[in-house]
Amino acid sequence: MPFTPVPGRRLLTRNPALAPALIAASERLVDANGLSSAHATFIAEDELPQFERAGWLIREDSQFHWLNEDYADFDAFLAALSSRKRKAILKERASAQAQVEIVHLSGADLTEAHWDAFWAFYQDTGSRKWGRPYLTRAFFSLLGERLADRVLLILALRDRVPIAGALNLIGARALYGRYWGCAEDVPFLHFELCYYQAIEAAIARGLGRVEAGAQGAHKLARGYRPTPTWSAHYIADPGFRAAVSDFLRRERPAVAHEIAALDEMAPFRKG
């Protein structure tokens, strides 16, 4: 979906020769309707040259992704971490798991009762973030009806009643974490459901990475590494375009420095 922060292809053609026509058509739409700009966000890295050749401005940013280095299991992943970070993660997991039962639900195991519970979690999270939850309750039923085998719903239960949950979508090469919510505050449960359980699920499915959404430097300590993302921008007004271009030129080295510095702080053993 266009507003989902997941890198992927934005020029929907199998023939690269048609890409310039798609980009030019976007520019014509902007110009013909008196719009300020057009933006292609979270574009796949191999599409960058197409937008650059068309003269669009390129911006680099980053997300935190967990990368699967052919780990046999979660313990193998832990073995790649420094001793201090490994102990910290084990402590967090033990604390969370001691207080709840955790279940993974997908396919036919998903029921309307599960979606009722997660709907309440979703509403609570959206309200506390000063936003407005935009997905309807019917959306989650449709998701379970039409894409159940691509859904991984991880729930925390207390006395068999869900008190927290994390919704993931299963891709061909990645697990995508999308929403989280809870009915009560349990220390470290967010990290357990959203990050550690997602890692275990990705390893079990042979997936190459976990994309846990935008932002969140706290993911670094949980083994998620800074990964570049890109967007491309067509700005109609020459003066505005020049100003943005100048900003991006000065911002780019800072972004690269931040990614390198964060990666150096990753919890993995050196060497």
What mean pLDDT is reported for the chain?
94
Is 271's pLDDT higher than 70? no
Q: Token pair for residue 175?
A: 């697990």
Find residue 40's DSSP bridge partners.
232
| Side chain identity at residue 57, one-letter code | L
Is 2's pLDDT higher than 60? no
Is 56's pLDDT higher than 80? yes
Task: For residues 126 and 133, give the distance between their C-alpha atoms in angstroms, rounded to a whole number.
Answer: 5
Q: Token pair for residue 38?
A: 């057009």
Rounded to the nearest 10 degrees, the angle between the axes of helix 137-146 and helix 112-128 is 130
Q: What is the pLDDT of residue 5?
A: 87
- CA-CA-CA-CA dihedral for 105, 107, 111, 115, to nearest 10: 70
Helices then strands, counting H and E runs in the chain, come out as 9, 8
List the alpha helices (DSSP H) in the chain.
Answer: 19-32, 48-53, 74-79, 83-97, 112-128, 137-146, 189-191, 197-205, 238-264
Q: What are phi and psi of 234, to 5 degrees?
A: -105, 120
Q: What is the pLDDT of residue 1?
A: 58
Q: pTM (2 decimals)?
A: 0.91
Is 127's pLDDT higher than 80? no
Q: Token pair for residue 73?
A: 């299991």
Give the residue-averaged pLDDT of 40-46: 94
Task: For residues 189 and 183, give the distance between their C-alpha atoms in angstroms, rounded to a whole number.
Answer: 12
Under 8 Å between Cβ of 100 and 186 = yes
Q: What is the pLDDT of residue 236?
A: 97
Out of 43-57, 157-171, 216-230, least confident range? 216-230
Is 159's pLDDT higher than 90? yes
Under 8 Å between Cβ of 181 and 124 = yes
Task: For residues 187 and 93, give the distance between their C-alpha atoms in angstroms, rounded to a whole number.
Answer: 10
Is 93's pLDDT higher than 80? yes
Q: What is the pLDDT of residue 129?
A: 62
